[in-house]
Structure 1
Amino acid sequence: MSAVIALSGLAASAQITASKAFISAPSDVFPLFDTNTRMDMVDYYNSGLSTPSANRMDGRSSVTDMSPQSLTVKISESSSAQLAILTAGSDTLIAVVSTVAAPGLDSTVKFYDKGWTPLQGGRYFTAPEWKDWVTPGHDTSEITAYAPFMLSSYYIDPAKGTLTITNNLSTFLDEDIYTMVAPALHPSLVYKWNGKRFSL
């Protein structure tokens, strides 16, 4: 039932497309691109061109994936962002996932209303703790003895109403150590959007 609610809600928000939200975003959300640059990036993608656009740090950026409800932009060689359109009750929300290589990919997510007013993220998603990553029969101490923090990347699939969080510790820990702790860790966690928040 929750999946039906999520999908119907996501469909209802289709009038606010990801590309329009990307273009209209305030400068503090995407500070490296002005509005005209964002328009160019969307036009290049729609035209099937891989032409990158110059950003304010003299780098090259481009839209790499786009649908009515989601847009992904490669900001630099070590950073990217995904913008996803969601619906919470009668409200349309915009989620922005920011991902950096640190050195493994690591993400955060922020939420905004359709007018780009920042929202309290904890209302819509709570990042997983170590206990959420640990597989049955194991203990968090088996991991935290070797890994002081988790590295994980986020991807929102609005069509499915999911937020998938991928474990990237293998890019941070030595291969031998990761092989030892891997059985105690889930490779990924999938959160479902229930029309109000993402929950495990």
Structure 2
Amino acid sequence: MKRLITLFFLVCLCMAGARAQLAKVCFTNMPDSICPLLTAVNRADFIDFLESKMKAEVTNRLGGKSEMTHLSADYIRIKMTDQSTWQMKLLPLNDSTKVICTIRTACAPACDSSLRFYATDWKPLPSTDFLPQLPVLDDFVAEPTDTTNLYRYNDARRQADMLLMKADLSASGQELTFTFTTPDYMSEEAAKALKPYIRSTRVYVWKNGHFE
């Protein structure tokens, strides 16, 4: 009998732990400082609306409209404003522990993203522990093998003086995709000249507790 009671207690603990690491629970418990545009009521309303099969749109702190467009057990995506989005993904560290990855993206007009990592109690964690190396310009732009186009290429590349990237977490998998957006802020002529040498995306996969 004592063994059955102990087993029941352990099962309850496991179920409570699993529930505590659901994306929606972490999201509703998120401190206001992580996402200041949304109130605690906004966050709860998002969940209620989507689970009721309604459009999950709320009025944010600034009086504008924000909409949660995706909610699953481990992923959330929100259209914060017409020019910005916010994503959250729960990623496994081991069988019982997860880490939160968030991405904030702003487009004005070229999109650029910033990533943060947190424990499930929203304690900040060092990003380099989970994403040791962000993409660099050379990951997206390859020098031409044909030297006849080298001058035109070098001139266009000089105008790519700011690395801008849009990051996206997979809703159904564990991939992190970076899209090269620097051409969106360059002159049309320079972007066109650089286009043949661009690898537009860089994909990382979550393995053994980090992206590689």
TM-score (norm 2): 0.80
Do the aligned residues in 1 keep the contact of 2:174 with 2:205 (CA within 8 Å)?
A: yes
> What's 1:85 paired with?
90
Q: Which is helix-richer, 1 or 2?
A: 2
> What's 1:116 paired with?
122
Do the aligned residues in 2 keep the contact of 1:135 with 1:183 (CA within 8 Å)?
A: no
> Bigger relative contact order, structure 1 or 2, given CA contacts below 8 A and separation 6+?
1
Once the two structures are TM-superposed, the CA of residue 160 in structure 1 deviates from its matched residue by 2.5
Once the two structures are TM-superposed, the CA of residue 142 in structure 1 deviates from its matched residue by 5.9
Do the aligned residues in 2 keep the contact of 1:105 with 1:152 (CA within 8 Å)?
A: yes
The CA distance in 1 between the partners of 2:155 and 2:126, in whole Å, is 33
Change (3 A) 1:42 1:181: same
Do the aligned residues in 2 keep the contact of 1:134 with 1:184 (CA within 8 Å)?
A: yes
The CA distance in 2 between the partners of 1:36 and 1:81, in whole Å, is 17
Do the aligned residues in 2 keep the contact of 1:93 with 1:112 (CA within 8 Å)?
A: yes
Unmatched segments (≥5 aa) in structure 2:
1-16
Do the aligned residues in 2 keep the contact of 1:85 with 1:158 (CA within 8 Å)?
A: no
Do the aligned residues in 2 keep the contact of 1:94 with 1:112 (CA within 8 Å)?
A: yes
> What's 2:138 paired with?
131
Say which of 186, 196, 204 aligns to 1:191.
204
Once the two structures are TM-superposed, the CA of residue 101 in structure 1 deviates from its matched residue by 0.8
* Residues 50-69 of structure 1 mapped to structure 2, 5 A cutoff: 50-69=55-74
Change (3 A) 1:143 1:109: farther
* Residues 1-200 of structure 1 mapped to structure 2, 5 A cutoff: 15=19, 16-89=21-94, 91-125=97-131, 126-135=133-142, 137=144, 144-157=157-170, 159-199=172-212
Paired AA for residue 162 in structure 2: F
Unmatched segments (≥5 aa) in structure 1:
1-12
- Secondary structure of 1:28's aligned partner: helix
- Secondary structure of 1:191's aligned partner: strand
Where has structure 1 moved over 6 Å in runs of 4 or more? none
Change (3 A) 1:161 1:14: farther
Do the aligned residues in 2 keep the contact of 1:124 with 1:196 (CA within 8 Å)?
A: yes
- Considering only aligned residues, what root-mean-square deviation do their CA atoms show, in Å? 2.2
Pick the structure with greater CA Rg: 2
Paired AA for residue 148 in structure 1: D
Change (3 A) 1:158 1:61: closer
TM-score (norm 1): 0.84
Paired AA for residue 104 in structure 2: S
Do the aligned residues in 1 keep the contact of 2:56 with 2:68 (CA within 8 Å)?
A: no
Do the aligned residues in 2 keep the contact of 1:142 with 1:181 (CA within 8 Å)?
A: no
How many corresponding residue pairs?
187
Do the aligned residues in 1 keep the contact of 2:65 with 2:81 (CA within 8 Å)?
A: yes
